Amino acid sequence: MTATSEPTRTLDSATSLDSVFAPVRSQTAFEEAVDRIGTAIRLGLLPPGTRLPAERELCAKLGIARSTLRQALVALAQSGHLHAVRGRGGGTFVVDELPPAAPPPSELIDRWHATWDHRVAVEVGVAVLACRRARASAVSSLGQLLAAMEEVTEDFGAYRQLDVRFHIGLAEATGNPRLVTMATEVQGEATRLIALIAHPPEILNSSNIQHRRLLAAVASGDEGATAREMAEHLRGTEHVLAGLLPRA
């Protein structure tokens, strides 16, 4: 079936619409929109060929700005979940066939939430201690890593290496070798999960914005803001994983 040659599929019921397109949190609106729509596609609530509601309607239901919605739709198009059709009868459609993916290890998928909880527990604490202890030279080095990350959003391999160095760099800024070891371990676990999803530049650009806010909080010495920014950053990635991870 193609979106332009056969009748457009729509959601089966208002209940499905309400569950898929309920309002999202403002702090992670982009990632939650990716999560909500990606999960609905994977579960078949948005079958192949389905045309999404109009942007104005989606923005009202999700409670987000049109620019945020478009950012999420672009990310899902870049990951191979959606495609746009122009002209009469056009719109944004679920692709006829999702991109093929190698079957993920079932044990990795089954425990991914626990893995992510471990990362949150370690990295929020690390960020607070980095805020308390980081020298100006460490903050400057972390800023240089962020600048480099902003230049490689089209090359995920290079991006991920810098991303890992940034997060481990926060642990190094605490001056505690044990925390560096723990941060390295959780980054290894996170990398195994992150490798299973697509990495659209839109998602990496959003992550960069979160990194900038996090580093600004660290530099300011505001431990509460630092904890909130790290938690929101990790929550955003968790939403992307929930929306794009394959199922074993």
First to last CA, the chain: 26
Instruction: Spell out a b/e string for 9-19, using b for 16 or more CB atoms within 10 Å of the CB, else e.
Output: bebeeeeebee
CA distance 124 to 126: 5
pLDDT reading at 19 higher than 70: no
Q: Encoding tokens for residue 151?
A: 């230049």
Q: How confident is the model at residue 248 (pLDDT cuts 50, 70, 90)?
A: low
Q: Encoding tokens for residue 194?
A: 């992150």
Residue percentage of the chain with pLDDT more than 90 = 59
Amino acid at position 136, single letter? A
Q: How confident is the model at residue 72 (pLDDT cuts 50, 70, 90)?
A: very high
pLDDT reading at 10 higher than 50: no
Task: Summarize the chain as % helix, strand, coil (round to 5).
Answer: 65, 5, 30
Q: How confident is the model at residue 9 (pLDDT cuts 50, 70, 90)?
A: very low
**Domains of the chain from N-terminus onward:** 14-94 (1.10.10.10), 106-244 (1.20.120.530)
pLDDT tens, position by position, 73-125: 999 998 889 999 887 778 999 998 876 655 666 778 889 999 999 999 999 99
Q: How confident is the model at residue 245 (pLDDT cuts 50, 70, 90)?
A: confident
Taken in order 152, 200, 206, 172, the sign of the CA dihedral is negative
**At how many degrees (to 10) do helices 112-133 and 223-244 cross?**
160
Contact at 8 Å (CB) between 114 and 106?
A: no
Mean pLDDT of 58-71: 91
Residues 6+ apart with CB under 8 A from 70: 55
Answer whether 0.95 is exceeded by the pTM: no
Most distant CA pair in the chain, distance: 62
